[in-house]
Amino acid sequence: MTPWEIHAVVVANCNCAYGCPCQFNALPTYGTCEAADGFHIEKGFYGGVSLDGLSAGMLAKWPGPIHEGNGERLIIIDDQATAKQRNALEKIITGEDTEELATIFWVVNAMTTIRHETLYLPVTIEADIEARRGRVVVDGVFELNVEPIKNPVTGAEHRARIEIPDGFEFTIAEMASGNVKTQSGIELPNNNGTHSHLAELHLNNSGSIRS
């Protein structure tokens, strides 16, 4: 197994209500799971290959809860990545060189049966975790915009976060509201004003790195 590690920021959205029932081992709000996300690696490596400064995105969709499988997935890797970096990122995102059930990448891979060919395109990611604002743009594929949840009466920004000490994606994430527009790949027509989160990702072959 090739050792790897990434320290990144993730901006993610799904079609569920704010908070996302998956975070509580509950069923999806509307029965299905439809998700878009992107992450930017601040510092990382795969063996001797540096992954610093690279980004990637993903679209995924399931006909029911993720754990029932039969999902569909599309990975997009930063077109600025070299051939070695592309190979490294794909192995991480597809759950290779990872212990069983250790990361969100491993879970997504195991629960999808339709795996589109990886695309190599410009991936733009903006993220301010504390402000609950973010943006993921993959040219010609999708755009995700994230903003704070608003109080339905006053319009004031509402702040909430989730802490999962033993999570396989993040330990602490800020909750937000997101909108997705898809142009190709996998359609996500229901992801408007739905759950989003922003968080730091500290992952390696064995899962989350606890600070």
Residue 210: which pLDDT band, with cuts at 50, 70 and 90?
confident
pLDDT at residue 188 greater than cutoff 80? yes
Residue 187 reports pLDDT greater than 80: yes
For the chain, what are the domain ranges? 4-208
Mean pLDDT over 180-200 rounds to 96
Q: What is the mean pLDDT of residues 107-117?
A: 97
Distance from C-alpha of 139 to C-alpha of 143, rounded to nearest angstrom:
8
Q: Could you report the per-residue pLDDT of 6-35, keeping only the tens digit for each?
A: 999 999 999 999 999 999 999 999 999 999
Q: Which two tokens stand for residue 136?
A: 């993921």
32 neighbors 118 (Cβ within 8 angstroms)? no
Six token digits for residue 157: 């920004």
Calculate the average pLDDT of the chain. Answer: 96
**pLDDT tens-digit map of 134-157:** 999 999 999 999 999 999 999 999
pLDDT at 17: 97
The two tokens of residue 33 are 């799971």
Q: Take residue 171 and report the two structure tokens written for it.
A: 């330990």
Using 50, 70 and 90 to split pLDDT, how confident is the model at 211?
low
Question: Across residues 181-203, what is the average pLDDT?
Answer: 96
Three-state SS string over the chain comes to CCCEEEEEEEEEEECCCCCCHHHHCCCCCCCCEEEEEEEEEEEEEECCEECCCCEEEEEEEECCCHHHCCEEEEEEEECCCCHHHHHHHHHHHCCCCCCCCCCHHHHHHHCEEEECCCEEECEEEEEECCCCEEEEEECCCEEEEEECEECCCCCCEECCEEECCCCCCCCEEEEEEEEEEECCCCCCCCCEEEEEEEEEEEEECCEECCC
pLDDT exceeds cutoff 70 at 5 = yes
Residue 101 has pLDDT above 90, yes or no: yes
Per-residue CA distances from 63 to 9, 69, 101, 197, 200 (Å): 28, 8, 21, 22, 28
